[in-house]
Amino acid sequence: MRALVVLLLASISGPVGASGTPENCICFEHVGIQDKPMPDFCLSSRDCTACAKTETETLVLPTPEWASVQASLRPAAPPGFGQRLGDYIARAPDGSAAGAIDGEAMRGLVRSLIASAERRNAVPAPLLLRLQARLQDAPH
């Protein structure tokens, strides 16, 4: 009986990461308009080793911040996606699709990650500061 309950719960909730969001690492590729290059980068949880294999700049995040990154992703690109600065496709380190984040959501995520670092009395990562500066150039 107990095995049946566990099996039933697993079939309802699906496996961890079933939403299409990688569990430990997400790489972002800019697909929006740009007047100068926007950075491509990866964000990962502390236990990720896959990001190191991508040769892309990677920022390792504490667990609460990692959860906010995952929550910011949409499973599919919204209408008009790719027509604004800051629109990013999210991919797992193996290149498989992991969702999308539009410029407005990316600005909010970057602000949140910077504020979180400051609350911990840490200096925000240079990647976040570069992203913030570039995203401020975008019309809101």
> Average pLDDT by consecutive 10-residue portion of the chain (140 residues)?
29 34 82 90 82 79 90 92 95 91 95 95 95 79
- Which pLDDT score, from 0 to 100, does residue 29 have? 95
pLDDT at residue 35, as a whole number: 86
Q: At what angle do helices 103-119 and 126-136 cross, to 10 degrees?
A: 140
Q: State phi, psi for 48 to the nearest 5 degrees.
A: -85, 135
CA of residue 63 relative to chain centroid, distance: 13
Domain boundaries along the sequence of the chain: 22-136
- Say what the pTM is: 0.78
Query: Residue 140 to residues 39, 40, 68, 79, 110: CA-CA distances in angstroms?
Result: 19, 21, 21, 16, 14
